Structure 1
Amino acid sequence: LRVREALRAPEPVEQVKVQGWVRSVRSQKEVLFLHINDGSSLESLQIIADPSLENRDLTFGSAVEVQGKLVKSPHKMQNMELKAETIRVVGPCDTLVCHCSRSPTDRTTLEMDFKMSKCAAKHAQTEVSLMFSLFQDNGYVHIHTPVITSNDCEGAGELFQIGVSNEAKESAEKTHFFNVPAFLTVSGQLHLEVMAGAFTHVFTFGPTFRAENSQSRRHLAEFYMVEAELSFTESLQDIMQVMEDLFKTVTSTVLSKCPHDVELFHKYVAPGKQRSLPRKMGLFFPSSCSISYSEAVEILKQASQAFTFKPEWGCDLQTEHEKYLVKHCGEVPVFVINYPYDLKPFYMRDNEDGPQHTVAAVDLLVPGVGELCGGSLREERLPFLESRLQRLGLADTYQWYLDLRKFGSVPHGGFGMGFERYLQYILGVDNIKDVIPFPRFSHSCLL
């Protein structure tokens, strides 16, 4: 029986077996109390046992198998408890190494870190499932875009280049393994654009990599992206609507289906932030702002707040700017559209405006995080795309991308959403490293 099933059992059960890890041990003269958890529930199951069943290996962190009777608990906080008849230690835990040097406060923190990590992992599974369902229910085709690529989609040069093992270095000196330099992908967008020429609506979910030497609370070297591409769309509003629907539907469903998990984070990690997450779907976007980049810069220039980075037209918005704009609009999601032409990658559609030249790009900013999604209309007009790639000296590198515009190209656009940043938002976590089991960032690649 899993812990979750034991806790939810409608009536006592004569004989059950529960397996899991010990979260606490408390021995009294006449009774032994254990709490065990197997990862199926945030709550642990209380075990009541005779002190004679205690042994030296029964410690915090040890893996156990408990057999006994499942009975109603007299405590209001728990529905059922297990009266143990046998306790077998499957795997002992060396508490001397584990936390003998930790104070009681440290041990409490360790327990809370365990609960938070488990909660974040469960949330990730729930939200991935919801996103897949939403896209597939709306006719999108899931594409497995490659992790290894020869292209830099973002054009920022923050790429991890792929090397070869020591055994292959001699042959690698003569030629590249792929005949061209290869990198870990920064985005699946360009590959999605290829597939959108056949399926019209496509999406992907997979790992992306950025060689940013950043120690910030919202950047990782490896993270997951949800990306979508839509053919036959000439309006940035269409892209924004898909972004809004994805954000709104998944968030409202998570809040209604997993309220206890969210409450755990908002109680221990981000007190007070639950107020910014209304539970009803209709409350997310009714008063949301949609402002141009130029309007955003003017709002920032008129702000009484002093910024570390001075807001200027033509400069990228920093995290402090994004959070201020969200606050200025009433702590609701904010769309910022029409960014400077020279600030964005080559594939974004030229608005042909002036004197301040912009492209049809959009970022979605959300409370507590800042930028969550980024998207744009893609430049489908061959002369415009050729001209820009030639100025950047990239025409040969992206000749295949130019060729796509010669054979049945249509107006299209898309966006990407950082999955860990979404978890940050919905759980109210300040540091993105706390929502992923094995965070990768500069100077840290454990395991």
Structure 2
Amino acid sequence: MFQAAAKAQSVASTLSQAVLLSIRHYCKKTPTKLRVSEALLGAEWGAHVKIQGWVRSIRHQKVNLFLHVNDGSSLQSLQIVAASHLNDPLLTFGSAVEVTGVLKESPHRKQPVELEADEIHVIGECNPVDFPFKIKERHSLEYIRQLPHLRCRTNAFSSLLRVRSEATTAIHSYFKENGFVQIHTPIITSNDCEGAGELFQVVPSHPENEEDENFFSVPAFLTVSGQLHLEVMSGAFTRVYTFGPTFRAENSQSRRHLAEFFMVEAEISFTQCLEDLTRVMEDMFRSATEQVMAHCAEDVDLFHKHVTPGHRDTVDAILKKRFPVVTYSEAIDILNRSSQKFAFPTNWGCDLQTEHEKYLVKHCGNIPVFVTDYPYDLKPFYARDNQDSPEHTAAAVDLLVPGVGELCGGSLREERLDLLRARLKEAGLEDTYSWYLELRHFGSVPHGGFGLGFERYLQCILGVDNIKDVIPFPRFSHSCLL
């Protein structure tokens, strides 16, 4: 009986070893799928791995074949070393490939690891003659802008998209860590928040009759701002924000304007002080920028070295100093005392133009500057009346930044029903915004908020001159490709 038990145990042990060997054999034959960024970390040295991506360079030798493959997860590409017999006529610059092999420490100092390939499969062909981007050639932002369906294949634009993604995450993180509730405000709305009339109207594409054309029973438009919807929410939440697309039917070909762009907007309840708004604007700017600089260092460096040389010094200076504050009246005085000749007037009561904004930034040391207390007539109906004399100003603030001009605009909101009603009546909007007046009847509190142009923020930290180069698919007058 003892011998039978021992024999059974021996058989079980043999089976266990066979199963273990089978598992090890299977694991060895099944490569671990890695992103290029993960492979470059070198944590899987000696492992059998699979990489999928696009060929950024290719070099043939008698014995070996060298490729650089990138999958968008990193600015750096992974070097692939393969025996010459693995070469394929379809293996060209720009082609999509799947490579399996063993990760090894690279003998070259410029790269930590390389992949010794045992299999290379071409997944998608690319004719390098017709491909508009050429190997080892640095293309300008203006050139790649003409190819919106392909420009993500370039180092510069893929870096921009990673920075944009990280900046989005950083802004959401800032608001979450500071107790803000995210609100998804509507894209289709019946309100013209800014009052400038630069609206895209929304109608069915093929209305069968007049009733169908009036789909919402009232005129509806693509939103120019989520502010008024945030103000609704500020009656129940002390801190809210939204981050989404906004639209302006502004016939402009400038470097600062788009027909579709992204806005970060926030609203804070129980505040009667512009400083509460400027503190959030500045802290959010610093927090997001520091996170982007830390997590996308290589991508940011690409811009600061090759696209906008010297801009890193500007960003470093911005992060070292607190943002100064000047009133609109002080700003006008600074402009009038300057020796520079401006194309637009600088009289008190005139709106600040881009040339004025850029001068004020330089005057303050080429760092962001807050301008407060604008003339009341320059601001929309919701801006709080300062009721000052002899100057009639509104409790409004703009943040001006280097190279861009206005980045943020905000104000305290008029919570006093009589003043708000009088302003709306004067503008002929009392009936249109009756619901806005009604908010003041039911637990209204002093509140304020601001909006930040996300693309202009990216222009500011990267030094990019044209706003069309910091958004995946730019929309502007006479252009809606894709």
TM-score, normalising length: structure 1: 0.94
Q: Which residue of 2 aligns with 1:140?
A: 180
Q: Residue 107 and residue 397 in structure 1: after superposition, are their counterparts in 2 closer, same or farther (change >3 A)?
A: closer
Alpha-carbon deviation of 1:39?
A: 0.8
Greater C-alpha radius of gyration: 2
Distance in 2 of aligned mates of 1:392 and 1:418: 27
Q: Residue 43 and residue 441 in structure 1: after superposition, are their counterparts in 2 closer, same or farther (change >3 A)?
A: same
Q: Which residue of 2 aligns with 1:326?
A: 361
Q: Which residue of 2 aligns with 1:27?
A: 60
- Mapping of 1:133-282 within 5 angstroms? 133-166=173-206, 169-172=207-210, 176-278=214-316
Distance in 2 of aligned mates of 1:174 and 1:5: 53
Distance in 2 of aligned mates of 1:13 and 1:273: 41
Q: Residue 274 and residue 343 in structure 1: after superposition, are their counterparts in 2 closer, same or farther (change >3 A)?
A: same
Is 1:70 matched up with 2:103?
yes
Give CA-to-partner distance per residue, 1:359-389, whole Å, 9 cap, x none. Answer: 0000011112111111000001111111111
Distance in 1 of aligned mates of 2:137 and 2:290: 35
> Alignment partner for residue 8 of structure 1, among 41, 44, 59?
41
Does the 8 Å CA contact 1:21/1:37 hold for their aligned counterparts?
yes
Q: Which residue of 1 aligns with 2:349?
A: 314
Q: Which residue of 1 aligns with 2:81?
A: 48
Q: Which residue of 2 aligns with 1:357?
A: 392
1:331 aligned counterpart, secondary structure: coil
Moved more, 53-62 or 157-166: 53-62
> Alignment partner for residue 450 of structure 2, among 415, 436, 441?
415
Give CA-to-partner distance per residue, 1:4-27, whole Å, 9 cap, x none. Answer: 111111463242211100111222
Moved more, 135-144 or 345-354: 135-144
Does the 8 Å CA contact 2:226/2:242 hold for their aligned counterparts?
yes
Distance in 2 of aligned mates of 1:317 and 1:107: 36
Alpha-carbon deviation of 1:213?
A: 1.0
Q: Residue 300 and residue 113 in structure 1: after superposition, are their counterparts in 2 closer, same or farther (change >3 A)?
A: farther
Alpha-carbon deviation of 1:28?
A: 2.7
1:152 aligned counterpart, secondary structure: coil
Give CA-to-partner distance per residue, 1:189-212, whole Å, 9 cap, x none. Answer: 000000100112111111110111
> Alignment partner for residue 298 of structure 1, among 333, 347, 352?
333
Q: Which residue of 1 aligns with 2:126?
A: 93
Alpha-carbon deviation of 1:175?
A: 5.7
Q: Residue 353 and residue 280 in structure 1: after superposition, are their counterparts in 2 closer, same or farther (change >3 A)?
A: closer
Alpha-carbon deviation of 1:170?
A: 2.4
Paired letter, 1:4: S
Distance in 2 of aligned mates of 1:25 and 1:172: 61
What is the number of equivalent residue pairs in this alignment?
441
Q: Residue 327 and residue 106 in structure 1: after superposition, are their counterparts in 2 closer, same or farther (change >3 A)?
A: closer
Alpha-carbon deviation of 1:154?
A: 0.4
1:358 aligned counterpart, secondary structure: coil
Q: Which residue of 1 aligns with 2:324?
A: 289
Does the 8 Å CA contact 1:363/1:372 hold for their aligned counterparts?
yes
Alpha-carbon deviation of 1:253?
A: 2.4
TM-score, normalising length: structure 2: 0.87
Does the 8 Å CA contact 1:17/1:65 hold for their aligned counterparts?
yes
Distance in 2 of aligned mates of 1:35 and 1:369: 37
Alpha-carbon deviation of 1:80?
A: 0.6
Distance in 1 of aligned mates of 2:56 and 2:107: 21
Question: What is the Cα-based RMSD across aligned positions, in Å?
Answer: 2.0
Unaligned runs of 5+ residues in structure 2 are 1-33, 145-150
Does the 8 Å CA contact 1:255/1:279 hold for their aligned counterparts?
no
> Alignment partner for residue 348 of structure 1, among 383, 388, 394?
383
Q: Residue 355 and residue 275 in structure 1: after superposition, are their counterparts in 2 closer, same or farther (change >3 A)?
A: same
2:57 aligned counterpart, secondary structure: strand
Paired letter, 2:394: V
Is 1:446 matched up with 2:477?
no
Alpha-carbon deviation of 1:172?
A: 3.6
Moved more, 374-383 or 242-251: 242-251
Alpha-carbon deviation of 1:311?
A: 2.0
Distance in 1 of aligned mates of 2:241 and 2:137: 45
Q: Which residue of 1 aligns with 2:437?
A: 402
Identity %: 62
- Mapping of 1:116-135 within 5 angstroms? 116-135=156-175
1:422 aligned counterpart, secondary structure: helix
